[in-house]
Structure 1
Amino acid sequence: MLNLAVLQYPLFFLIMARMAGFIGASPLFSMTAVPRTVKIGLVVFLALWVLPTVQAKVPSPFQQTGLYVGLLVLELVTGLFMGFIATSIFSILNLAGQIIDVQIGFASAELFNPESSFVTGLSGTFFNMIFTLFFLGADGLDGLALTGMDSYKLIPLGQFHLPQTFGLAFEQLMDLITADAVQVAAPVLVALLLTNVTFALLSKAVPQMNVYFSGLPIQLFIGLSVFAASVPAFVSIFHVLFTFLFGQVTAFMQLTG
């Protein structure tokens, strides 16, 4: 395998560029908690694994330097795009967690997460931890690796492009992500909505009652109770999200290849 990589080093570096972009932008792998040596080793391993399956005519890096560099950048962009689509779908749980935190009253408890480099709340962190365990248990890392390897069947080397329908397809994906996030948070949202309606009626019936100070502890208790009761149902939700992630990545690879 190493001898083949040395003999076909121009093709090997192009494959490494796509794998590096995909690993660097994909969920879980992109976390800073994953050591760089692990990421580099995984990129090299995947490139060596994919190399015998890719048959493409590659320009010489010395005689056609500009063309080769352009192809190298295009492959890197291809990998980054694939990882971005997977990470966007993974962000459904963060969005659902933020919706729940705002309704329960945990919005002020948001903290900067150094692993993902953005602000996350308590519910979003919990969702990510549980889904990460489910993802690892369901061989999600193998699925991501195989997706990167099979990408050459859908997006041949140097054939990545954005069609005219890409904007519409991406808009539909964002709509699906938002709708799925609301569905994940729906049990807590409905319970808190009914709680707010109840307190609104009480404020009319008993004007002397301080709804704000009396309602916050009750709203927090109801929200956490419904959230805890909904945890067993998250397993089925995670299964659907798991399938949806790989399905959308494959669909966008078909669209751009």
Structure 2
Amino acid sequence: MLTLQFQWAEIQRFLFILLRVSTMILLVPVFDSRNIPLMVKVGLCLSLSVFCYQFLRVQPMEPLSDLATFGVGIAQEVMIGAMIGLVVRLLFAGIQLAGEMIGFQMGLTIANVIDPVSSNQISIVSQMLYLFAILIFWAMDGHHMIFHALAESFALIPPFGMRLSEPLGRFTLDRAVAMFRMALLFGAPMIVSLVLATLVIGLIARTVPQMNVFMVALPAKIWIGLFFMGTSLSIMASVVQRHSLELQSQIGMMLKWMGRGG
């Protein structure tokens, strides 16, 4: 008869690994989609956790009997996984924000659809740019970079090794600011062209008051926005590639600050 025996300290160590992995998977784009069956997500989290437990040099732990200490360890693991997922998520949040601004300028905000990921109303342009950025990110093996960052986190931050520091706070604030910068860089060609088109339509309406400007402006802005969006796809792809390449070093820097506390 086969019997399995595990030490309580090893069970706790696996639980901490599972919490960090699961939190990151639930926040990283694509993996967090509600279109992915729950059992697939559970299987992925368990598989990655077993791999990290078996092959990574995670620091051994002493068995914990204090409930408060155990709760602190759980909170730290959830925060580490959430920070990794948040840094990746902010990149695509900037792209979605750019799509919202472009859709507003094109007059497509009245045609919002339900995003299956967040179950919120989102612009059609925003959803299209988000899927385009996801394709570029995965074509660059961005998912490999995420898994590498997860493995590196266990080397830099063992269980109960997380430290909060001032550089970590500044880094989080800088990432939030970078999200808006990313939105402007990603949507600048379309936003500028649509603003200029609005000015031109306004001048035409002043010089030719007999023309029904509202019947002309809406389809004109849609066509102009789609034209410049199509011609700017190469620029968008380069912006996503550059920020995706910077993402790995940024996550590594964040993990070092979280591990050594600044």
Please say whether Structure 1 and Structure 2 have the same fold, judged by a TM-score greater than 0.5. yes
Moved more, 159-168 or 142-151: 159-168
Q: Provide, for residues 57-93 of structure 1, a one-character-per-residue CA deviation record: whole Å limited to 9, x for no partner.
A: 42314x3343223212321222122212211222121
Q: Provide, for residues 15-54 of structure 1, a one-character-per-residue CA deviation record: whole Å limited to 9, x for no partner.
A: 1111111111111111111222222222222222222433
Give, as a single letter, the amino acid of the residue that structure 2 aligns with 1:209.
M
Give, as a single letter, the amino acid of the residue that structure 2 aligns with 1:182.
L
Give, as a single letter, the amino acid of the residue that structure 1 aligns with 2:207.
A
Q: Provide, for residues 142-187 of structure 1, a one-character-per-residue CA deviation record: whole Å limited to 9, x for no partner.
A: 2211211111233232122331244433222222110111111111
Give, as a single letter, the amino acid of the residue that structure 2 aligns with 1:245.
L
Give, as a single letter, the amino acid of the residue that structure 1 aligns with 2:256.
Q
Q: Provide, for residues 80-117 of structure 1, a one-character-per-residue CA deviation record: whole Å limited to 9, x for no partner.
A: 22212211222121111101100001111112212233
Match of 2:224 among 222, 225, 234: 222
- Work out the percentage of aligned pairs sharing the same amino acid: 24
Name the SS for the 1:27 alignment partner: coil
Moved more, 98-107 or 116-125: 116-125
Give the Cα–Cα distance (whole angstroms) in 1 for the partners of residues 58 and 132 of structure 2.
40
Corresponding position of 2:135: 133
Corresponding position of 1:60: 63
Q: Provide, for residues 116-136 of structure 1, a one-character-per-residue CA deviation record: whole Å limited to 9, x for no partner.
A: 333221111111222222233
Does structure 2 retain, via aligned residues, the 8 Å contact 1:5–1:48? no
Q: Counterparts of 1:187-202 in structure 2 under 5 Å?
A: 187-202=189-204
1:200 CA displacement: 2.6
Check 1:41–1:164 CA distance in 2 against 1; reply closer, same or farther (3 A cut).
Answer: same
1:208 CA displacement: 3.4
Corresponding position of 1:210: 212
Give the Cα–Cα distance (whole angstroms) in 2 for the partners of residues 118 and 59 of structure 1.
44
Give the Cα–Cα distance (whole angstroms) in 2 for the partners of residues 148 and 4 of structure 1.
28
Give, as a single letter, the amino acid of the residue that structure 1 aligns with 2:242.
V
Unmatched 5+ residue regions in structure 1? none
Corresponding position of 1:23: 25
Moved more, 169-178 or 101-110: 169-178
Does structure 1 retain, via aligned residues, the 8 Å contact 2:76–2:160? yes
Check 1:55–1:193 CA distance in 2 against 1; reply closer, same or farther (3 A cut).
Answer: closer
Check 1:107–1:5 CA distance in 2 against 1; reply closer, same or farther (3 A cut).
Answer: farther
Q: Counterparts of 1:134-173 in structure 2 under 5 Å?
A: 134-173=136-175
Check 1:5–1:73 CA distance in 2 against 1; reply closer, same or farther (3 A cut).
Answer: farther
Check 1:86–1:6 CA distance in 2 against 1; reply closer, same or farther (3 A cut).
Answer: farther
RMSD of aligned C-alpha atoms? 2.3
Name the SS for the 2:166 alignment partner: coil
Corresponding position of 2:121: 119
Name the SS for the 1:207 alignment partner: coil
Give, as a single letter, the amino acid of the residue that structure 2 aligns with 1:59.
E
Unmatched 5+ residue regions in structure 2? none
Does structure 2 retain, via aligned residues, the 8 Å contact 1:27–1:86? yes
Give, as a single letter, the amino acid of the residue that structure 2 aligns with 1:136.
W
Give the Cα–Cα distance (whole angstroms) in 1 for the partners of residues 83 and 177 of structure 2.
18
Give the Cα–Cα distance (whole angstroms) in 2 for the partners of residues 215 and 251 of structure 1.
48
Give the Cα–Cα distance (whole angstroms) in 2 for the partners of residues 166 and 117 of structure 1.
31
TM-score, scaled relative to structure 2: 0.87
Name the SS for the 1:91 alignment partner: helix
Name the SS for the 1:29 alignment partner: coil
Give, as a single letter, the amino acid of the residue that structure 1 aligns with 2:148.
L
Give, as a single letter, the amino acid of the residue that structure 2 aligns with 1:118.
N
Give, as a single letter, the amino acid of the residue that structure 2 aligns with 1:13.
L
